[in-house]
A and B are shown apart, each in its own frame.
Chain A
Amino acid sequence: MSEQQTAATTDETTDAATETDGKRTPVTTGASSVVRALENAGVEAAFGVQGGAIMPIYDALYDSDIHHVTMAHEQGAAHAADAYGVVRGDPGVCLATSGPGATNLVTGIADADMDSDAMLALTGQVPSTMVGSDAFQETDTTGVTAPITKHNYFASDADTVGDTVGEAFALAAEGRPGPTLVDLPKDTTMAETDREPGPAKPPETTTPPTDAEIESVKTAARAIERAEKPLLLFGGGVVKANATEEARAFAVDNGIPVVTTMPAIGSMPEDHELCLSWAGMHGTGYANMAVTHCDLLVAVGCRFDDRLTGGVDTFAPEAEVVHVDVDEAEISKNVHADYPVVGDAKAVLEQFADEVGQSPDAREWRQQCQTWKEEYPLAYETPEDKPLKPQFVVEALDEATPDDTIVTTGVGQHQMWAAQFWTFTNPRTWVSSHGLGTMGYGLPAAIGAKLAAPDRDVVCVDGDGSFLMTIQELSVAVREELDITVAVLNNEYIGMVRQWQDAFFDGRRMAAEYDWCPDFAKLAEAFGARGFSAENYDEAADAIEGALAYNGPSVIDFRIDPTENVYPMVASGGANGKFALSEDQL
């Protein structure tokens, strides 16, 4: 490529370029074209692990300002990229080599897919001449990931590979977000090319709706106006569409109570009187009472997952349903929508604000919801000294940190206590694995979150079983000098399983006892982090203070009450209104 061409192309892409624009090395190979496409898309950080087939991409990254974070395991790379994207609001990027590198990403990709998180995965592949020959470290990555990606690409042309990567990046974020993947055979990335990729743009076959058809909005607006017991249900789509401001305003302006799904935690301030927190299996009693008794459910950006609905037959049984979603296929998939509204949550909420003339007369209903809040508060018992209650730990951490603190979690009892007892008031502060329920999500997610928001506090609430699954990523937090706090709620059980075994399997605790767990505080020190332990309330307070004051990664091993269970609980497939407050009620 001539210098003249470089200059001309660089001029064209000034918008997307950083201040180091002038210094950017020209595209010489497929790999450098891939890296240029990432730069054009505004990518600042990427998470991955080196390997044979991805080496050309890494070599090209050597000349780039993109901050590459080497993770200890590819699963960690995918979760970190996922969380990075959740916090920043644009796709996170992860890289892995072919074969085991790519398959190790699979859990993280599936996780992002279930939660509709925008993410771009780049995988190395054996040279295309060897594809299909069972070559060393070969896996049919596009085949393996087809069911868990929004779309994936096999890039076989060095001249177009940069544009393909740009398209994949843009597609991940467009409409209903999700993970995309580009499989990069080594001959494509090694091949010479001087073709500069253009700006990242989505494929022409996809054009998601923004505004909804006005007739559908008007019809839904009439239903809202005449409702006597209206309820807003905010889903993760509200957060993804950056529509929390509009959503909150709509609720407040019309005096409509709000429940959220777990991914939407923080979309409505949980200390607002209209907010009933989140509904579902371990959601609040008042949220589940409201869902059960409302006569109009206005669901925005949610997919009616079974952990939310319980048995569909008893879900909001007397409610007409307004369903707003950017993905038309979600409408009436699980719960029939009487008023389907297909559009972007932010745009549709603006349309609703214009079209709903008269607020519904819901004074009595609001009062009823307040009564339920008083009848079924989230609470727990605290014996004087020990054992330490996990709920207390969560509340103490919440109290000791600023409002905009980002909380990540693994999956299990600790996740539910964190979701229940932390009072979230801001969107994108709750980063968790919802749909897939991936144990081990918390620590790599904390790393991704901290890199996305270096100025904010990041606390990972983890369980002993969950923490052990990706504990090796602690080495990354130490190397990157990330000021994150891991609070392990350690009950020496894979606790949610134990809770279910006790409730539904006659207490036969097969493979649920984790009394073989290592000393997490010592292990943290071995990794080069700070370690703390606490088994009573005084020690807990000291440990929290010490860990938060330490400027670097720290781990607090909270020895919590091993008998504590998560309540309220809706039995799997049961009726939301019949949530149990103790094991006797299950």
Chain B
Amino acid sequence: MSGDESADAPGYEFDGPGMPGPAPDERPHPDGRRNAHGVRIDPEVEAEPRYRTAVVSALVEHEPGVLSRVSGLFSRRQFNIESLTVGKTTVDGHARITLVVEETDAGIDQVKKQLGKLKPVIQVGELDGDAVRAELVLLKVRGDEPDKVHAITQMYEGETLDAGPRTITVQITGDQQKIDDAVDAFRQFGIIEIARTGQTALARGDTPTTPGEEPGHSTEPKNSTYRDETDAEDN
């Protein structure tokens, strides 16, 4: 197809040589640009997208497969996940999943929206900076200096769960910074094994952890169906 003659009208003729019109470089082109996230940008002030850590809480139906659906979503959409905890709530048939993700603002927004699309997910919310967060760690260290280990455990308000001639196992709970510090402090004794749960979190005060979740009602287990009226309305 040569394109050296031009059809002179729309509703081209069969004997025409095909597609005329200016070649790619001869066409007018706009100056605008978008970045990789599809946002229109001013090239002068373009900045790299900033990653941040977000704590996302999802109230879900406690049914088989829900965890694999959530983790499958994360792997398939390549979200950068730091930790994931899950456990029942006081409402029959409900569980809460707490996710810590490190993403751009747009990425975190997608995490929340994609989670919300899953059928077993009832509500999704992102916790703000002052939320109550905690993590639990079990540390097994060498038992050569039991007194010193005990002292450090007390400093971090921990608990000794098992002490033998060769190993001591302690439990520490707290926010991420405290856990990291404690692990560092125990390193001097030689850490044999470590198990961390990942962060779990609740919103502070009267603020519901996921939107529409009423602070008071979940102390009254409902035994009839999966969900109660309050949630139904909020959906």
Question: A residues engaging B (CB < 8 A)?
Answer: 142-143, 146-147, 150-151, 154, 171, 203-207, 285, 289, 292-293, 304, 312-315, 317-318, 320, 327-329, 331-336, 370, 372-382, 392, 565, 567-568, 575, 577-582, 585
Give, as a whole number of angstroms, the nearest-CB distance from B163 to chain A: 40
A376 to B61, CA, bound (A): 55
Task: Evaluate contact between B117 and A329: CB separation under 8 angstroms.
Answer: yes
A237 to chain B, nearest CB (A): 15
Q: A332-B109, A581-B1, A581-B21 are in contact. Are A382 and B72 (CB under 8 A)?
A: no
A79 to B19 alpha-carbon distance, docked (Å): 35
- B110 within 8 Å of A by Cβ? yes
Nearest Cβ on chain B to A435's Cβ, whole angstroms: 15
A-B contact pairs, 20 of them (CB 8 A): A154-B65, A205-B120, A206-B119, A293-B30, A313-B33, A313-B35, A317-B33, A328-B113, A329-B116, A375-B21, A375-B22, A377-B7, A377-B12, A378-B12, A379-B16, A577-B24, A579-B24, A581-B18, A582-B19, A585-B23
> In the bound complex, do residue A332 and residue B106 qualify as a contact, i.e. CB atoms below 8 Å apart?
yes
Q: Which A-B residue pairs are the 3 nearest by beta carbons?
A: A317-B32, A329-B113, A335-B38
For B10-26 the 0/1 string (1 means CB < 8 A from A) is: 11101111111111110
- Chain B residue with Cβ nearest A578: B24
A373 to B9, CA, bound (A): 9
Please indicate the chain A residues that have their CB under 8 angstroms from the CB of B69 in the complex: 146
Which residues of A lie under 8 Å from residue B122 when comparing CB positions? 205
Residue in A171, A207, A315 whose beta carbon sits within 8 Å of that of B235 in the complex: A207
Q: Which residue of A lies closest to B14 (CB)?
A: A382
Q: Are A317 and B14 in contact (CB under 8 A)?
A: no
Given the contacts A204-B235, A292-B30, A336-B40, A380 and B116 also touching, CB distance less than 8 Å: no
Q: Is the CB of B72 within 8 A of A377?
A: no
Contact B64 A154 (CB under 8 A): yes
- CA A148 – CA B23 in complex, angstroms? 41
Listed in ascending order, the chain B residues whose CB lies under 8 Å from chain A are 1-3, 6-12, 14-25, 27-40, 61, 64-65, 68-69, 72, 76, 106, 109-110, 113-114, 116-122, 226-227, 232, 235
Closest partner residue, chain B, to A328 (CB atom): B113
Residues of chain A lying within 8 A (CB to CB) of residue B113: 328-329, 331
In Å, the complex CA distance between A304 and B66 comes to 29
Q: Which residues of B contact A585 (CB under 8 A)?
A: 23-24
Among B2, B32, B106, the residue within 8 A (CB) of A318 is B32
B40 engages A317 (CB within 8 Å): yes
Determine whether the beta carbon of A314 is less than 8 Å from that of B10.
no
Asked if B33 and A314 sit within 8 Å, CB to CB, the answer is: yes
Q: State whether B18 touches A289 (Cβ < 8 A).
A: no
Decide: A146 and B12 in contact? CB cutoff 8 A. no
Contact present for A376 and B33 (CB under 8 Å): no
Docked complex Cα distance between A98 and B9 (Å):
58
Given known A146-B68, A203-B119, contact A380–B227 (CB-CB < 8 A): no
Partner of B27, one of A206, A313, A392, A577: A577
A177–chain B nearest beta-carbon distance, Å:
13
For A370, give the chain B residue with the smallest CB separation.
B10
Q: B34's contact among A150, A151, A314, by CB below 8 Å, is which?
A: A314
- The answer to whether B76 touches A292 (Cβ under 8 A) is no
Q: Which residues of B contact A568 (CB under 8 A)?
A: 19
Out of B32, B72, B106, name the residue touching A146 (CB < 8 Å): B72
B25 / chain A contacts, CB cutoff of 8 Å: 578
A375 touches which one: B14, B20, B68 (CB < 8 A)?
Answer: B20
Give, as a whole number of angstroms, the nearest-CB distance from A288 to chain B: 10
Residues of A within 8 A of B27 (CB): 289, 577-578
Q: A285 and B33: CB pair below 8 A?
A: no
State whether B65 touches A581 (Cβ < 8 A).
no
Tell me, rounded to whole Å, the shortest Cβ–Cβ distance linking B210 to chain A: 13
Establish whether residues A204 and B38, one from each chain, have CB atoms under 8 Å apart when the complex forms.
no
Q: Which residue of A lies closest to B16 (CB)?
A: A379
Which B residues touch A373, using CB under 8 A? 10
Please give me the residue from chain A that is nearest to B32 by CB atom: A317
Question: Across the two chains, which residue of chain A brings its CB closest to B39?
Answer: A336
Find out whether the CB atom of B20 lies under 8 angstroms from the CB atom of A143. no
The reply to whether A336 and B19 form a contact with Cβ atoms under 8 Å apart is: no
Do residues A293 and B28 form an inter-chain contact, with CB atoms below 8 A?
yes
Partner of A581, one of B3, B38, B116: B3
B61: nearest residue on chain A (CB-CB)? Answer: A205
Residues of A within 8 A of B23 (CB): 581, 585
B10 x A374 contact (CB < 8 A): yes
Query: In the bound complex, how far is the Cα of B19 from the Cα of A565, in angstroms?
Result: 13
